Structure 1
Amino acid sequence: MTSKTKFLRQILITVAVIAFFSSCSTINRSMREPDTRVNLRMSDFSLSNQVTATVTSVKVFGIDWARLFKKKTGVVDGSSSSTINLVCIPVIGNIVSDRTANYSLYELMSDSPGYDVVFYPQYETKILRPVLGIGFFSKITTVKTTARLGKMNN
């Protein structure tokens, strides 16, 4: 064997050993949640008139500097890690994809205390990208949320 083939063989063995010891493993355990069902009717709720809340977020270089250390968000489900957990109110008929919509939902709920459920919120979103139309440099998002709120009847 030449020294070149010995060298290549040593490198191959070294790479194989490193790959073997650096491999990762994943262990996952899961449990299924019980499928409980509660049947509610509209007569079980007292609905409010439509209420609105409007919030604006300004992001510079992708960072919302006004909410960097303090975020007040409304959540759709209980799996959020928001700092303010005011919002344990269920939201029915909602998919929120923008954080500004979450901020607007928070404002809607905090401006109307005492309600138990948010019904089918509607979002009106306006996005401005003032620097060359590129959202990376600066992006101004305004979200207006409109919904009916409900209280459970006794």
Structure 2
Amino acid sequence: MEEQKPKSIKTIGLLVAIFAGFIIFSNAMGALTWAVMGIGEELNNQNTENAGSISWLFSYYIELCLTMLLIGVAFLVGGIFIRKCKLWANQMVSILSVLLILVIWGLMIAISVSIGQQDGMEIFRYGAIFSALFWSLPLGLLIWFLNKRKIKKHFV
């Protein structure tokens, strides 16, 4: 008799797919708004010699949104196939979660450094670090859950 798979796997797959939908929608709308309003044109025309500054991030905003859009699509596919207990989807979502944690921390550190250089804005540096913790904690829990021995044995 085949062992029944935990319902939590299907629930996590659904949550990953919903999270992916938010990533796709928010980054598609951000890129579309940025392009329609032409915000990035003046930033692209400026010389951004400091690669760690916030202006450097804004000058590549559309590229960042499109990269996140691709990550969101990959998360969506992973979430759908996690529900079907596919091992490759488990591994893909785990790797993408690590990548997303690195992206989040990289962006928040860049924002923190940029904000910290402005007078009177030092307190907001902590907000960027808190935001990184807020978004990376669920991703870390997702990685932990998907790779628990008790859960991973259900993936084929």
TM-score, length of structure 1 as denominator length = 0.22
More helix by share: 2
TM-score, length of structure 2 as denominator length = 0.22
More strand by share: 1
Which structure has the larger Rg over C-alpha atoms?
1
